[in-house]
Structure 1
Amino acid sequence: MHIVANLGLMAAATLPTIEKRVLTLKSSDGDEFELEESIVVQSLMIKKMVEDGCAVGVIPLFNVDTETLTKIIEYLKMHQLTSNQEEIKNYDKEMAVADRIKHKSIEAVQEIFNITSDFTPEEEVAIRNENPHAFEGDFDHSLD
């Protein structure tokens, strides 16, 4: 029995390490951020891209600047890496913006934060056609 146990340990020790998949997010400013897939897929939009096989290489986030993406990454990491629910609850209070825009349409978020799109109507149509997953779902269009 002792020999079997030792062989089991040796076999486990010689197994190749499973590498975690890394995804690269690219902000509208051109900055790239490499993150473990398990962190990034907390974003339903990116999770859908991964499931559909669209998240290969660099994932461009055309409407997210570096400053905003940094905050989003901080939020995702906090929720992935922290098991203390009280700590998460306190953090979320500080990041109350997330609750305010949860399930909002892109148009509602733009209006809430007074964001003016710099895309032409043709560019917006092209983006919607290229990334339909980002515009799917039942979104709340209210501003409250």
Structure 2
Amino acid sequence: MPVKLVTSDAVAFDVDVVVARQSVMLRDILDGTHCYVGPEPTEDDEPIPLQYVNADILRKVLQWCTHHKDDALQQSHDKNRDHRTDDIPSWDQEFLRVDQGTLFEILMAAKYLDIEGLLGACCKSVVNMVRGKTPE
């Protein structure tokens, strides 16, 4: 049974549970008592409102989550790796090759939904985008 999400512009999405659980926020809701009674959604469950994410951006976020759904949920934290900006996977680089406004909206959605991998890739892309530029 898919998870029901509704965006800020009132567009409904039925999302596979495995994909939705990449978001810590959605995982907490699914595991808690917010909208769902048990670990699996049912047809009677209320949709989860995403008040800070519009449909176009959620579509992009879900595309990223679907691509990465088989990745390990917890990757080891290597501080040196976290500070590197040259290790963005090629698929992520291509995925994030969008206009600046869209990139920042994806970044804000990743922060709101607490999707660490996407947030990290977005932040590294922003760093690479401004690298070598002056404040002017």
TM-score normalised over the length of structure 2: 0.49
- Identify the structure with bigger relative contact order (alpha carbons < 8 Å, sequence gap 6+): 2
Greater Cα radius of gyration, structure 1 or 2? 1
